[in-house]
Structure 1
Amino acid sequence: MPVLSVKSLSASYHRNKVLDGVDFQVRPGTMTGIVGPNGAGKSTLLKVMLNLHPRLAGEVSFFGSGYNQVKARIGYVPQRGSVDWDFPTDALDVVLMGLYGQIGWLKWPKQQHKEKAMQALDEMGMADYAKRQISQLSGGQQQRVFLARALAQEAELYFLDEPLAGVDAATERAIMQTLKTLKEKGKTVLVVHHDLQTVEDYFDHLLLLNRRVMAHGPTEEVFTKENIFKTYGGVLRWMGEKSG
């Protein structure tokens, strides 16, 4: 059974259709890059699948069930720019927010929850910043904290929306190593990604999206000049070609 199945998914923003009949399935234990031009619907796809944005039509199932039935098995890291970083909380509390499903609403976290959160921060090299206000952290540090929150959930399926955007090289390496380790443990990872230069190094599967699925499958099969031109409208210079 696929861990994720999407059928005829459509959605719009302000009456503009940004997803149009999207169909694909994701197998367990894979790391899929979601790639396409600006405005292609990549972030919207994640939000619609996770019930964060309304859909016009279509079906989405996780592990054969609806999102609400299995949301504890799913981790999500939103775009850094969509988060209110001025909210008065520290890094440890941000990670603990990812454990509310285990803690229970309106209940105080127990020592075991704090230890799990600290372990996740430590894995991301952020244990020393546990009591630092989130607004005082750099962009790369903030991204590490949000990934630590997802790790603490111990999910089976992870969605990350542009986790490498605007981060330093060290943070990018740390994030990708963490995602690689998750995959090696049998977890499934989907990442909205923008850098075509690193696609082949980072992902074993690729979903090329421009309002609809242009191509999907193993990276070595999908990441071709023809598919990239089709996805980007032929305006993107193919890597390796010289101008002139």
Structure 2
Amino acid sequence: MKSVLTVENVSAAYRKDQVLTDVSFQIKQGTLTSIVGPNGAGKSTLLKVLLDLIPSITGKVTFFGEKYKTAKSKIGYVPQRGSVDWDFPTNALDVVTMGQYGKIGWLKWPQKEHKQKALAALREMKMEGFAHRQISQLSGGQQQRVFLARALAQDADLYFLDEPLAGVDATTEKAIMETLKMLKESGKTVMVVHHDLQTVEEYFDHVLLLNKTVIAHGPSHLTFTRENIRKAYGGTLHWMGEKR
């Protein structure tokens, strides 16, 4: 499998506080990777640095061998739900259609085929019936499905999702994970900031353990070990039971 993302010696800071230090890893095509670590470990910051939303201090990031500016049409991003202004007056269909603006062009109107693609993405997330509903009127789980549909409509090769399962109901969690696994099986690559350690091995084939730097990275069954979890979280997690 070829690498779709290469991160070399990346460091970042907020004001004078170092948030990421010497972060290096590679992501292979067709993998479904969880990014896990304690609060304040820099998980969301890492995504923002990769996507040029926050500047790095040092290091180099390449996507498909290119810089982000060149490769961004191949990349989809679903931010944390709490960072979105859900009171903005627009409906679900328009939000999903926006995912295609990189290909439509910002000064052009979406055409019929773009709306059809957006509807197909909503249908994939079982949200077609809410296409003309204002996003402020949707539940948290429904809003999360709409934003994932937006990423699907973009038809990217590499997807980043920041805590897509946080605060959603079991039905939405199942629907999201089925979609992410479908993307993986179709050759797409997915990276997910994830908070539930108990589902890491069930949901993801790779894991990146992060605490301001990379603690461990690799196949989940080899990497998600008691020792690596202890290194990442700074102590034993008793609820993990007989975790190896």
TM-score bracket, normalised by the shorter chain, equals: over 0.9
Q: Does 1:58 align with 2:62?
A: no
Q: Which residue of 2 aligns with 1:96?
A: 97
> Which amino acid is 2:107 matched to?
L
The answer as to whether partners of 1:225 and 1:238 remain within 8 angstroms in 2 is no
Q: Deviations over 1:146-201 (max 9, x none)?
A: 00000001100000000000000000000000000000000000000000000010
Aligned mates of 1:102, 1:12 — CA distance in 2? 33
Q: Does 1:19 align with 2:17?
A: no
The answer as to whether partners of 1:203 and 1:219 remain within 8 angstroms in 2 is yes
Deviating beyond 2 angstroms after TM superposition, the runs of 4 or more aligned structure 1 residues are 235-238
Q: How far 1:104 moved relative to its partner?
A: 1.1
Aligned mates of 1:220, 1:238 — CA distance in 2? 19
- Give ranges in structure 2 of 5+ residues lacking alignment: none
Q: How does 1:22-41 map to 2 (within 5 A)?
A: 22-41=23-42
TM-score by length of 2: 0.97
- Give ranges in structure 1 of 5+ residues lacking alignment: none
Aligned mates of 1:100, 1:156 — CA distance in 2? 16
Aligned mates of 2:125, 2:180 — CA distance in 1? 11
Aligned mates of 2:239, 2:62 — CA distance in 1? 35
CA RMSD of aligned residues (A): 1.1
Q: How does 1:72-151 map to 2 (within 5 A)?
A: 72-151=73-152
Q: Deviations over 1:81-110 (max 9, x none)?
A: 000111111000100111101211121110
Q: Which residue of 2 aligns with 1:69?
A: 70
Give the count of matched residue pairs: 242
Identical aligned residues as a percent? 70
> Which amino acid is 1:106 matched to?
L
Aligned mates of 1:130, 1:181 — CA distance in 2? 22
Aligned mates of 2:226, 2:192 — CA distance in 1? 21
Q: Which residue of 2 aligns with 1:219?
A: 220
The answer as to whether partners of 1:9 and 1:23 remain within 8 angstroms in 2 is yes
Q: Which residue of 1 aligns with 2:154?
A: 153
TM-score by length of 1: 0.97
Q: Which residue of 1 aligns with 2:176?
A: 175
Aligned mates of 1:11, 1:237 — CA distance in 2? 32
Q: Which residue of 1 aligns with 2:186?
A: 185
Q: How far 1:238 moved relative to its partner?
A: 4.9
